Amino acid sequence: MDRPFLDLAPCGPLRGVLRVPGDKSVTHRGLMLLALAEGEGRLLYPLKAGDTLSTARALRALGAEIVEEGPHFLVRGRGLRLKEPEDVLDCGNAGTYAPPPGPSRRARGAFRRPHRGRSLRRRPMGRVVEPLRAMGARVDGREGGERAPLAVRGGPLRGIRYTLPVPSAQVKSALLLAGLFAEGETEVVEPVPTRDHTERLFRHFGLPLGVEGNRIRTRRTGPFPARDLVVPGDFSSAAFFLVAALVTPGSEVVVEGVGLNPTRTGLLQVLRSMGADLEWRVLEGEAGEPVGWVRARHSPLKGVAVDPSLIPLMVDEVPILAAAAAWAEGETHIPGLSELRVKESDRLSAIARNLRAWGWRWRRGQTGLGSGAGGCGPERWSPSTTTASPWPSPWRACPWGSGSGSRSGPRSPTPASSGT
């Protein structure tokens, strides 16, 4: 089957105010916690895409009732009594989905190949399997549990103190969820901060949580009631529009209703250090998630050496940062990218390969990227070579756009498809 593709053409200045789809990380976690809650709750303006729909499908197989209501999900949870699935859980390529190995859940069909999730089967699972086994979970899989598919058998769990060998919000979240079923206290120690959506949602649902510096603790919980949750716009989606405005002369773009969780917005700090004309403001929050607007204006950028401690706060935005750096004057060095080699694909290689194909000079190491000096753009294309486009404006075609832009600044966000 032919792969879908887009025909793209250069365009002139980008001007507009728009909203982006719901945050994928919050959607995954919101679905899981609502499935574990008692009663009925709505997930408002979630992201409905391949990964999150895979999570919803897997949770249905575990007994949760999840119904689509227009742009929302209505979830009727099973409390802490997930059932044994009748077949292998098909998680697609959703690496975030990790159902807790609690005493009420016993997965079978251990080594049957799922119909999807080829990239998920390549991802290293040992980093989460090892601490779950230390808690008492019985987990089997290919290569001794290093590769999916996995078989998880329920049983009594005990809390542990675990220091993450590498920063990983997904491993942290899996251990905190398992800790809700474990005897005693479960403590996760982070070497550097990672996205904290799970901790914020624990507070939203009233679940036990203690945070002291880089230590996050939880313990066994009893039944807890469902609560509605509004999903903010996904900052990772917004980043592409912001960078497009920064590198296209005459542009000014405002993204409204976007999540501005400080553990996700490291890209804003890096772009500002490169000379980007950016401003943002937090207006309100839902479930402890900061939400607001970001404005980007065309700016001459300069190369920088990115602080490695910022990478966990912008790991999903590294591809668009690399594109921005290609327009910068001088060299840019982006270290600490080993995690990008074990995502859905080897993103590190893909970034360098695609930028080279467009004529940019990039170097790829085992764990980082570096750009050539001189701020050289591609030999065959430049966004500044044309001031008009025969193609429709993306804001006219974009279903979640909120109208044309204004040089007087962003409008006050109002409830729309991304939720605020």
pLDDT tens string 230-240: 999 999 999 99
User: Measured between alpha carbons, how far is residue 282 from residues 292, 408, 416 in Å?
Assistant: 4, 18, 17
What is the CATH code of the structural domain delimited by 232-379? 3.65.10.10
Architecture of domain 24-219: Alpha-beta prism (3.65)
pLDDT band at 84 (very low <50, low <70, confident <90, very high): confident
Q: What is the pLDDT of residue 266?
A: 95
Would you say residue 402 has pLDDT above 50? no
The pLDDT assigned to 165 comes to 93
Domain boundaries, the chain: 24-219, 232-379
pLDDT one-digit tens code per residue, 351-371: 777 777 777 766 555 445 565
Q: Catalytic amino acids?
A: 316
Distance CA 312, CA 264 (A): 8
pTM score = 0.80
- Confirm whether 24-219 and 232-379 share one CATH topology: yes
CB 96, CB 28: distance < 8 Å = yes
**Buried b / exposed e across 363-387, counting CB within 10 Å, b at 16+?**
ebeebbbbbeeebebeeeeebeeee
- Which pLDDT tens digit goes with each residue over 148-181? 788 888 789 999 999 999 889 999 999 999 999 9
